[in-house]
Structure 1
């Protein structure tokens, strides 16, 4: 499996984890956060448990998180 991470703005990256089920969205998100450093990471997922659980895990690790439902998927915006 490849990390579908791309830069979409000056300080913003997007990680597409659609089609993946737990625990892969969390694993990919943690790998991407290490790569992007202090930049904003937007994770796109179509897995309801990931949309529910990922923000909880990240908040416990000290991240700021916003989640928005967009049609058939969620966009989870993460920053320090």
Structure 2
């Protein structure tokens, strides 16, 4: 799968992983974080286990994380 990563504003990128089940949202998120450096990343997922587990894993790695439900998906904001 191609990494659906796009810049949505200065210093903020969006990664759309809807339609992907675990572990792919986490794998794609890690790839995107490496690619964007210190910018903020917003991950969009429709996979409930990913919405639950991604924030836990990322917080353990030292990231700040906010997650909110938006209709049929979640938006997970990640930054250092």
Give the TM-score taking structure 2 as reference length. 1.00
Unpaired runs of at least 5, structure 1: none
* Runs of 4+ off more than 3 Å: none
Aligned partner of residue 32 in structure 2, secondary structure: helix
Unpaired runs of at least 5, structure 2: none
1:28 alignment partner in structure 2: 28
Give the TM-score taking structure 1 as reference length. 1.00
Q: Over aligned residues, Cα RMSD in angstroms? A: 0.2
Count matched residues: 80
